[in-house]
């Protein structure tokens, strides 16, 4: 690997918003590797089957993407080296000829179902909501079904034959954006087509040191002493302590100084270690 | 209302873990009001159709319950006045006679689907996962279906006729607990059967003051200056600013002093207001 054409892993099949976000960044010069789940995107990047990957991190309406943060709890899961912002306009797609009254199931990724809660409650209060791996996987499944509809992008109506658009712009809020992380295998192995401007963001994983009494989050954050743009919490599973937490702090650079930002971050991580916590740099971009 | 028998709203139908948690606290002396969604539990309590309500807050395996935190973003949503801890052991239930190879759909609440991810991937990799309002609603639906299974509690096999247990203890982690909030209409209107020990917990909602430039979360937390046990983030929707956040900080009392804790909390909220943020007390227990 790392010779010839660049391979970028995305949540597949082609037609997902993740693929659109990746295409907007990498264009047609790279090869796209379709994964069935977000976790698989991380896996193929960490195992160097792909040079880079793109995963959804957060939606402006429905919030953080749980599967992404859960993958980031693991060791050797790769590193974040960039971000992409994409406006998301959902459509309801059905197989050509399926009528509104035929629809018993509505399939999509849990994020898309969550971003269209009001629409679904109003127009399809009795339809069953089926959670599938991606929006395009939903479209693909619906193309062979007589009683299903998929929430996905307009693009899927051209990617999969026999589909037609029943509703357009069905997200609960017009101002609906999804933010993606670009991931690569290791901090020093950024794929070259990713433009590296002066770094202004990084993601830090914070947890109580293993085996210790949990450190209060304020103690960890105070020791870190950095400007936090986003802070997310997930259960820490590699411990017998019930309701232990891992926090993910996305840091934002205040002023662009002369010193490399990395030095400042490394000092901050050391302060957390010294205070009895555990801090891990998950990426800088 | 507020005369005669106490009414407690729960996520229904009877047989949910929420109902079991509520029953463990309130017993058979109260009347249970079954709601279709977590949001409805908040609504009937806020509108005083029920004296109190019980909602799931967090699971030790799959984390925070999004619908609960999203409801807590709203104004006049009631107040938290207690917590309940319940061990959760999931079963896979089918209609009597349905065979493993007949199962095409597996229905449950998104939390239960999330707590059994490994089991589902291993035993039913090709089954469709259907997200319904509650675990007991899934059991009820499955009792009239030939190709579905429900993830729910063992209790549902007795609540709904014609159901049998196909698998028991299918949660990914043995140490699987759900924590619930008890909610009431207003801070000074606690339902009397809720025991009020010396208060040691409270929930505070933090956001940038409306219309202002967002205050960094560290600025709000430093102004608050309290011991934080849990910190959660959800999108703030009543603003035109993209990716604005609301944080929920559950505070834990350090030492039990002589002063009422409420005074200390009120001073902390005032410090947040003074620093340009917005802080709202969502309950104390």
Choice between B140 and A190, residue whose per-residue pLDDT is larger = B140
CATH of A7-87+177-184, one of 3.40.190.10, 1.10.3720.10, 3.30.420.40, 3.40.50.300: 3.40.190.10
Confidence of residue A187 (pLDDT cuts 50, 70, 90): low
pLDDT mean over B175-185: 95
| SS3 at position B119 | helix
Domain(s) labelled CATH 3.40.190.10 in chain B stretch across 7-88+177-184, 91-168
Question: Domain spanning A91-168 has what CATH number?
Answer: 3.40.190.10
Cβ distance B173 to A63 less than 8 Å, yes or no, reads: no
Taking contacts as CB-CB distances below 8 angstroms, the residues of chain A near B65 are: none
Taking contacts as CB-CB distances below 8 angstroms, the residues of chain B near A231 are: 217, 231, 233, 247
For chain B, give the percent of residues with pLDDT over 70: 92
Domain(s) labelled CATH 3.30.70.260 in chain A stretch across 201-284
Domain(s) labelled CATH 3.40.190.10 in chain A stretch across 7-87+177-184, 91-168
Confidence of residue A3 (pLDDT cuts 50, 70, 90): low
What is the per-residue pLDDT across A69-120, written as a single tens digit (0 to 9) for each? Answer: 999 999 989 999 999 999 999 999 999 999 999 999 999 999 999 999 999 9
Taking contacts as CB-CB distances below 8 angstroms, the residues of chain A near B245 are: 230
ipTM > 0.95, yes or no: no
Average pLDDT, chain A: 91
Q: What pLDDT score was predicted for residue A240? A: 78
Report whether pLDDT(A191) > 80: no
What is the per-residue pLDDT across A231-241, written as a single tens digit (0 to 9) for each? Answer: 999 999 887 78
Q: Which fold has domain B7-88+177-184?
A: D-Maltodextrin-Binding Protein; domain 2 (3.40.190)
Q: Which of B158, B61, B145, B44 is nearest to B110 (CA)?
A: B61
Cβ distance B60 to A235 less than 8 Å, yes or no, reads: yes
- Using CA coordinates, name the residue in chain B closest to A178: B243
Tell me which of A243, A247, A251, A252 to substitute to probe the interface with B (most B C-beta atoms closer than 10 Å).
Answer: A243
pLDDT mean over B6-27: 96
For domain B201-284, which architecture applies?
2-Layer Sandwich (3.30)
Q: Which of B224, B128, B118 is nearest to A218 (CA)?
A: B224
Burial of B219 (0-12, 13-18, 19+ CB in 10 A): middle
Q: Which of A145, A273, A282 is nearest to A205 (CA)?
A: A282
- For chain B, which residues lie within 8 Å of any Cβ of chain A, measuring from their own Cβ? 58-64, 66, 105, 107, 110, 113-114, 128-132, 173, 175, 177, 179, 216-218, 221-222, 226-235, 237, 240, 242-243, 245, 247
pLDDT mean over A184-205: 69
Q: What pLDDT score was predicted for residue A104? A: 94
């Amino acid at each position: 690997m790392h010779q010839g054409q660049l391979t970028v892993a995305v949540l597949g099949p082609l037609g997902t918003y993740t693929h659109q976000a990746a295409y907007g960044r990498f264009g047609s010069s790279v090869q796209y590797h379709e994964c069935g789940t977000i976790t698989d995107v991380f896996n193929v990047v960490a195992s160097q089957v792909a040079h880079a990957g793109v995963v959804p991190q957060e939606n402006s309406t429905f919030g953080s993407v749980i599967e992404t943060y859960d993958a980031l709890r693991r060791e050797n899961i790769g590193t974040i080296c960039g971000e992409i912002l994409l406006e998301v306009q959902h459509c309801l797609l059905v197989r050509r000829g399926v009528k509104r009254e035929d629809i018993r199931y509505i399939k999509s990724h849990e994020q898309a179902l969550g971003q269209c809660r009001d629409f679904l409650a109003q127009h399809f209060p009795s339809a069953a909501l089926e959670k599938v791996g991606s929006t395009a996987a939903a479209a693909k499944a619906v193309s062979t079904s007589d009683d299903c509809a998929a929430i996905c992008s307009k693009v899927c109506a051209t990617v999969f034959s026999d589909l037609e658009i029943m509703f357009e712009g069905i997200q609960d809020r017009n101002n609906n954006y999804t933010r993606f992380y670009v991931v690569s295998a290791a901090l020093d192995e950024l794929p070259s087509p990713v433009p590296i401007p002066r770094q202004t963001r990084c993601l830090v994983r914070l947890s109580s040191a293993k085996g210790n009494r949990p450190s209060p989050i304020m103690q960890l954050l105070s020791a870190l002493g950095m400007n936090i743009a986003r802070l997310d919490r997930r259960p820490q599973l590699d411990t017998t302590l019930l309701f232990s937490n891992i926090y993910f702090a996305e840091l934002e650079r205040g002023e662009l100084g002369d010193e490399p930002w990395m030095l400042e971050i490394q000092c901050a991580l050391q302060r957390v270690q010294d205070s009895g916590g555990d801090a891990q740099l998950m990426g800088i971009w």
